[in-house]
Chains A and B, each alone.
Chain A
Amino acid sequence: MIRTPLRPLARILSARSRGENPDRIEAENLRLRHEAMRDRARARAEVRLLMLACGFVAGFGLVAMRMGVLAATPVAEPRRSGSAATIQAQRADIVDARGRVLATNLVTHALYAHPRAMVDPVRAARGLAQIFPDLKEDDLLRQFTGNRAFLWIKRRISPEQMQAVHEIGEPGLLFGPRETRIYPNGRIAAHVLGGATFGAEGVHSAEVVGSAGIERAYDARLRDPARLDEPLRLTIDTTVQAAVTDVLRAGMTMLNAKGAAAIVMEARTGAIVAMVSLPDFDPNDRPPPPVSGDPADSPIFNRAVQGVYELGSVMKVFPVAQALELGHVTPETMVNTQGPMMLGRFRVRDFRNYGPALSVTDVIVKSSNIGTARLISAIGPVRQEAFLRNLGFLDPVTLELSEAPTGRPKLPRRWGDIAAATISYGHGLAASPLHLAVGYAALVNGGLRVTPTLVAGAETPPPVRVMSEATSRAMRTMLRRTVTDGTAKLAEVAGYALGGKTGTADKMRPTGGYYDDRVMATFAGAFPMQDPRWVVVVSLDEPVETSGTEARRTAGWTAVPVTGEIVRRIGPLLGLRPVIEPSPPGGVIPVRH
């Protein structure tokens, strides 16, 4: 234990020597120290209390000043929008290649109610139930007389309905302006445009947000406040789009098909002039995504981009082009087509027997499975895969649609010799019509793979060369021959020199194996064949032509005549001058003097 020394020691010692009690000195000393300490504490407290007082003067002064400032500010008029966050309600227009409006905005109104401001809820409920047959008078009355201070009644009403609601004369029924997205052409180009819906919604405005298609893919661009006045221009030509839709719908009805798709694309640039998928929908009233059944059967499914199908014989042109490119064959080389061709236990057959051998051109013209399988067996699966990858068949096509990435091709699990043979004639690899359009564009435009686009002036990657000019030229001749002499004779349109290839693929059963009586009929081609400018792809889902004695399902009887009709209609719209060959000189004999 530490002993506290007695203090002050000098005085205590002297006191002790005098015989006095040192405790009194100690106590006196303690008292003095205590006093001194108290004085110090008090001096310090005085300063600090002064500081506190200053703090409180400042605090009260601040409140008083702020009160004065507020009192001196004139009352602002009540503002229209109360919340600090404003809603970006505007959206740029979308126009077609020639500046015709595809999507624009219109001010409509939303109807809402302030039940507490209502004068006569019974009358209001009865009146609304008469104007809007889908509203129940009892429900409305219950809502109007309940506890709610605010409720939406209708998100979008027409001017006529608005006038009728005005005529009820109920002050508790109010209207909020709405910028509504309008697609004046209705169903035309529905899958390209997609649709728009309301996002963040307030009483005074609502956000319009793209829900699909180009509206969704370009949502940020369309809502960019700096570019509202500048419409988004597409490559779609409304008249061509309308003509293609028209013909395709007629063909689909006549051939009892359950769906159809068509693409018209510029062969050199990839600009899509028309893209149709049937059945379609009205983007002004976009149906909700289906909850049951196959989503691929829904009207909102874009068959041209999202639908991946085994396309059949239209794919035969690719092994032939590759064989030409590799120098294995020339168009005149004879290929053994003796059937059936055995690949291990797998047999390759033809639709009918074409004899022991065909020239390479005739393999395309007559569409011989065995012929292409022979060609690909010389090429091998590795080079085949590389060639198809270059043409874009192994990845989803990049396109300015929000659905484009879902069009992912279905590839064989093991790409061996048998897969190579089946893929050579269009089975075992499923791709979308858009894939086909890109592949055919490369085939006919001199060998360049283009990137398809829907937006005029979009920056696309430069075309990639995938085959030589000479191969492309040879392929053009073969494709033209298919129309003039082969399986696609019904597609001959005088003056437009259409060329292309048919494909009839048996559809796969969901349980495995193939249907006998359900096909996907496709025609892919380009025109005019002497210098192809447009690629056209038409595919029909489960068509059947019943004018003859037996049901005909092959593309030559279904997709081909529809394509011919399409080209006949759109040729003039595209500004293409038909080349009418002069009639053979017969009546007039040139004479020379």
Chain B
Amino acid sequence: MTEMVHGALPVRAVEPILPRWWRTIDRWSLTAVFVLFGIGLLLGLAASVPLAERNSLPRFYYVERQMLFGGAGLAAMILVSLLSPRTIRRLGVLGFLGAFVAVALLPVLGTDFGKGAVRWYSLGFAAVQPSEFLKPCFVILAAWLMAAGQELNGPPGKGLSFALLVAIVALLAIQPDFGQAALILFAWGVMYFVAGAPMLLLVVIAGLAVAGGVVAYNGSEHFARRIDGFLTPEVDPRTQLGYATNAIQEGGFFGVGVGEGQVKWSLPDAHTDFIIAVAAEEYGLVLVLAIIALFATVTLRALMRLRRERDPFIRLAGTGLACMFAVQAIINMGVAVRLLPAKGMTLPFVSYGGSSLIAVGIVIGMLLAFTRTRPQGGIGDILVKRRG
């Protein structure tokens, strides 16, 4: 009676959204992402000033933009992580259609900003690179196809996703954007691997890659020179790589001090591709190791959580996204320390970038949604019950 009269709060049957989100989300990874973004802003305060001065803009113009886009990216991440895997799958597949059309229309409507490759749509205030959004959407679609292919009487998911992969790689190669193409190829390969690729096939592919490399090295002088140049211990101190190496050495273990670094003045890409060199010079090995640890945390925690996942779609999609994220970070840092040949690739969340920040926010949002704790049906007892 009292309750009827005084209008007590209705009790919901299900748990409210935010508490459930907070309880099930991978809070360690979430924290790591926020810290990474904070480090990016901190480095941007130093690294992007020379560029702003060169372009006669306010000194912290790029930092402000980074905050704007980063804020949008983080918001997108949290929003996406609130969604259920099923919603994400639907949006992802729709997004794939949109992004695919956008990439396909690039040669007609895109601009190259005088950089030689047509990769962007100019929206006036910002440039959008549709392939950034195509990457995660493709991962979702491919995971869906592969998971469906695993069902009894399912469609040939692996074959279909492979056909799509070839189409996308071809589209990216004509831009040309071999970096993104390689990333997508890698993500698909990882998903195929987890979905149960035959080991023999993997060994054969690895063998072919090695043989192809040897043939290219012996057959093409240009290729051989590139590789030799990469392998020589000598590095021309006047190249970007030379500056980056020198910066890391200058930094030593604890850095030369906040804002004291010199490399940002000589490197044109100090705020994007070589941000890790700025970090190494000003804050030393300590910060670099911290950044690496943060990336490793996000990646490894995601993979470990996905191990327990019983839904094949979630497992595959999560794997693809996590690996794409990790490999991008490894390539970016590997180039700066000359483990890998030079290839322009940004460091996720840390490097300056507009649409790429939002895209990576969506990627991690999806990953967080997929790695949320959900009932996995207490494997042991269910199996016992079924067998009995």
Contact = CB atoms under 8 A, between A and B. Distances in A.
A38 interface: yes
A63 B292 contact: yes
A170 to B, nearest CB: 22
A41 B196 contact: yes
Contacts of B194: 45, 48-49, 52
A7 to B, nearest CB: 12
A38 B196 CA distance: 12
Given A62-B339, A71-B251, A71-B252, A79 B237 contact: yes
Nearest to A48: B194
Given A52-B190, A66-B339, A84-B234, A46 B307 contact: yes
Contact of A84 (B236, B253, B307, B327): B236
Given A34-B152, A60-B295, A70 B337 contact: yes
A501 to B, nearest CB: 59
Given A42-B310, A48-B196, A83-B236, 11 more contacts: A42-B315, A45-B194, A56-B296, A60-B295, A63-B334, A63-B339, A67-B333, A75-B246, A75-B249, A78-B237, A79-B237
Contacts of A49: 194, 303-304, 306-307, 315, 319
A70 B383 contact: no
B355 interface: no
A117 interface: no
Ranked nearest first, the 10 interchain pairs of A and B with the lowest CB-CB distance are: A71-B285, A66-B337, A70-B248, A53-B303, A60-B296, A84-B234, A75-B249, A59-B330, A63-B333, A49-B307
Contact of A37 (B150, B251, B284, B327): B150
A57 B296 contact: yes
B165 interface: no
B193 interface: yes
Interface string A79-110: 10011100000000000000000000000000
B280 interface: yes
A38 B379 CA distance: 12
Contact of A45 (B237, B304, B315): B315
Contact of B249 (A33, A39, A66, A73): A73
25 contacts: A30-B152, A34-B152, A44-B196, A45-B194, A48-B193, A48-B196, A49-B307, A52-B194, A56-B299, A60-B299, A60-B326, A62-B334, A63-B333, A64-B292, A66-B337, A66-B339, A67-B248, A67-B280, A67-B288, A68-B285, A70-B245, A71-B249, A71-B284, A82-B242, A84-B234
B306 A60 contact: no
A517 interface: no
B38 interface: no
Interface of B: 150-152, 190, 193-196, 229, 232, 234, 236-238, 242, 245-246, 248-253, 280, 284-285, 288-289, 292, 295-296, 299-300, 303-304, 306-307, 310, 312, 315, 319, 323, 326-327, 330, 333-334, 337-339, 383, 386
A423 B223 CA distance: 61
Contacts, number: 124
How extensive is the interface on chain A, given as a class?
35 or more
A32 B253 CA distance: 58
B315 A71 contact: no
B379 to A, nearest CB: 8
A44 B307 CA distance: 10
Contacts of B334: 62-63, 66
B3 to A, nearest CB: 45
Contacts of A59: 326-327, 330
Nearest to B304: A53
B370 to A, nearest CB: 13
Contacts of A200: none
A161 B334 CA distance: 50
A82 B236 contact: yes
B285 A67 contact: yes
Q: Chain B interface secondary structure, helix, strand, loop or mixed?
A: helix
A42 B307 CA distance: 8
Given A41-B312, A44-B196, A70 B249 contact: yes
A74 interface: yes
Contact of A56 (B253, B303, B337): B303
A39 B229 CA distance: 49
Contacts of B250: 75
**Residue of A39, A53, A66, A83 contacting most chain B CB atoms (<10 Å):** A53
Contacts of A73: 249
A39 to B, nearest CB: 7
Contacts of B299: 53, 56, 60
A30 B312 CA distance: 18
Contacts of A32: 386
A50 interface: yes
A35 interface: yes
A70 B307 CA distance: 35
Nearest to A45: B194
Interface centre among A30, A50, A67 (most CB of B within 10 A): A67
Given A39-B383, A79-B237, A63 B337 contact: yes
B182 to A, nearest CB: 15
A424 to B, nearest CB: 58
Contacts of A82: 236-238, 242
Contacts of B289: 64, 67-68
Contact of A41 (B150, B236, B296): B150
A5 B11 CA distance: 52
Given A49-B303, A67-B337, A74 B249 contact: yes
B232 A84 contact: yes
B190 A34 contact: no
Of the candidates A50, A53, A70, A79, the one having the most CB atoms from chain B within 10 angstroms of its own CB is A70
B319 A52 contact: yes
Contacts of A38: 150, 310, 312
Contacts of A53: 299-300, 303-304
Nearest to A53: B303
